[in-house]
């Protein structure tokens, strides 16, 4: 687990820093907080001290709190594995971008060799201000990380881009401190269900929640991969560091895959793509009648089969969500669609499949390998699948 400095500056979102400190603590990290003078107008050091279980540092010139550290800002700067500035005010961004160090936090940021991430939060007009944007640009170019603000209702009563990213997204940054064993690899991952319109208000879909695909995208990004996530409609947050391409129908997913597969080293197709779509989509809402109704369906493109035919050096991984004869059906699909791996799971089992947080997958390889994973969280399952992909990729390169 990591040593994390949460630097709190004087914005209205400072109260969310308390939630972040609590979350990081629950995840097992050792958290120490540094507050600017302005930050203490918004929340008290006592709150952060209680939630972190550590002293809170507020003043560069106060007498030492920890006798091990000769000079506090240097001691803290060395101690940290990661520094998160939450929230980052326009003022503080300007200060760091211009090399100023006139308080404990800015001095510590200047002295640390640990990765520093800013989570800006401010009024949308402030955020768009050319000086603020220039400072952000300078900081990005100098290697500082950002968890960008999002559009939303702002404390000043307006709405626009300036609302701080969620604390979960900010906490995710710490996960990127893991060994970057997938760095340099490009992944295209599909996830979620598709929706096939019947008329302007109705559609055909399935029970896929997208959790397995998002777990793969999240873990691959944590491990340094460059990830494009092509996702049907889900309720899940976009994982940190992932390029998201939202789609709705199977045809849109097919087009997005065609546009991105060439550049990929690995393609994982975990989306539950509709095999059929209504032959015609009514321009207006279909009115009910007294009798039954027949819906005529036509085939959607088979994206996985298309990829199997068109792949060159890409590793192609499919998923088989089955309710019966799991191994037989999965092995048939592996061969028929020219896959390198197929992850088979029984979606009718209690602990695996749609909407669940756990999965039990057996990974079959075109090389004859079989890895039967136990019941694991979808994130852990994703990591085991990624381990196997990495192993195969290394064999390919050698």
Ligand X SMILES: Cc1cc2nc3c(=O)[nH]c(=O)nc-3n(C[C@H](O)[C@H](O)[C@H](O)COP(=O)(O)O)c2cc1C
> Which residues are identified as catalytic?
156
Nearest to 371 by CA among 337, 341, 336: 341
Pairing of strands 341-346, 315-322: parallel
Residue 157 Cβ, how far from ligand X at the closest point, in Å? 12
Q: Contact at 8 Å (CB) between 119 and 88?
A: yes
* Between 169 and 381, CB nearer to ligand X: 169
Contact letters for ligand X, residues 103-132 (x by CB under 6 A):
------------------xx---x------
- According to DSSP H, which parts of 265-302 are helical? none
Residues binding ligand X: what is the number (CB under 6 A)? 15
Does 135 bind ligand X (CB under 6 A)? Our answer is: no
Q: Contact at 8 Å (CB) between 88 and 9?
A: yes
Scan for tokens 């050091």, then name that residue: 45
Q: Contact at 8 Å (CB) between 206 and 161?
A: no
- Name the 3-class secondary structure at 51: helix
Q: Which of 19, 91, 302, 387 binds ligand X (CB under 6 A)?
A: 91
Enumerate residues 4-63 that contact ligand X by CB under 6 A. 9-13, 36, 38-39
Residue 11 Cβ, how far from ligand X at the closest point, in Å? 3
Task: List, in order, residues 6 or more apart from 174 with CB less than 8 Å away.
Answer: 2, 4, 24, 27, 29, 82, 84
Distances (CA, A) of 183 to 58, 222, 262: 37, 10, 18
- Name the 3-class secondary structure at 49: helix
* Between 82 and 90, CB nearer to ligand X: 90
Does 89 bind ligand X (CB under 6 A)? Our answer is: yes
Residue 58 Cβ, how far from ligand X at the closest point, in Å? 11
Residue 341 Cβ, how far from ligand X at the closest point, in Å? 47
* Between 155 and 237, CB nearer to ligand X: 155
Residue 380 Cβ, how far from ligand X at the closest point, in Å? 38
* Between 125 and 207, CB nearer to ligand X: 125
* Between 149 and 239, CB nearer to ligand X: 149
Q: Summarize as ranges the residues that interact with ligand X (CB under 6 A).
A: 9-13, 36, 38-39, 89-92, 121-122, 126
């Amino acid at each position: 687990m990591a040593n994390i400095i949460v630097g709190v500056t004087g914005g209205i979102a400072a109260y969310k820093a308390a939630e972040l400190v609590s979350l990081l603590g629950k995840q097992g990290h050792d958290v120490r907080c540094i507050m600017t003078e302005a930050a203490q107008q918004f929340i008290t050091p006592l709150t952060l001290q209680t939630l972190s279980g550590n002293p809170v540092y507020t003043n560069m010139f106060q007498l030492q709190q920890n006798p091990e550290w000769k000079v506090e800002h240097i001691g803290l700067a060395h101690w940290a594995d990661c520094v998160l500035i939450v929230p980052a005010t326009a003022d503080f961004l300007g200060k760091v971008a211009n090399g100023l160090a006139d308080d404990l936090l800015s001095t510590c940021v200047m002295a640390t060799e640990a990765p520093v991430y800013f989570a800006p939060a401010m009024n949308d007009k402030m955020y768009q201000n050319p000086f603020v944007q220039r400072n952000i640009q300078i900081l990005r170019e100098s290697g500082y990380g950002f968890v960008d603000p999002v559009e939303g209702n702002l404390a000043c009563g307006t709405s626009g881009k300036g609302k701080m990213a969620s604390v979960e997204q900010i906490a995710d940054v710490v996960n990127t401190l893991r060994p970057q064993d997938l760095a340099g690899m490009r992944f295209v991952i599909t996830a979620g269900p598709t929706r096939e319109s019947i008329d302007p208000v109705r559609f055909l879909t399935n029970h896929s929640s997208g959790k397995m695909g998002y777990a793969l995208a999240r873990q691959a990004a944590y491990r340094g991969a460059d990830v494009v996530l092509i996702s049907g409609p889900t309720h899940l947050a976009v994982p940190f560091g992932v390029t998201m391409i939202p789609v709705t129908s199977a045809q849109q997913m097919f087009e997005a895959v065609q546009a991105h597969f060439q550049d990929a080293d690995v393609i994982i197709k975990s989306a539950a793509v509709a095999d059929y779509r209504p032959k015609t989509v009514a321009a207006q809402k279909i009115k009910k009648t007294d009798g039954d109704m027949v819906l005529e369906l036509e085939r959607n493109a088979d994206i996985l089969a298309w990829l199997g035919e068109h792949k060159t050096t890409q590793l192609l991984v499919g998923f088989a969500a089955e309710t019966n004869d799991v191994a037989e059906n999965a092995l048939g699909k592996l061969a028929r669609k020219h896959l390198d791996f197929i992850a088979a799971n029984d979606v009718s089992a209690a602990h695996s499949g749609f909407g669940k947080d756990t999965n039990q997958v057996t990974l079959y390889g075109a090389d004859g390998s079989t890895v039967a994973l136990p019941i694991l969280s979808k994130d852990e399952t994703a990591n085991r699948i990624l381990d196997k992909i990495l192993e195969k990729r290394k064999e390919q390169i050698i």
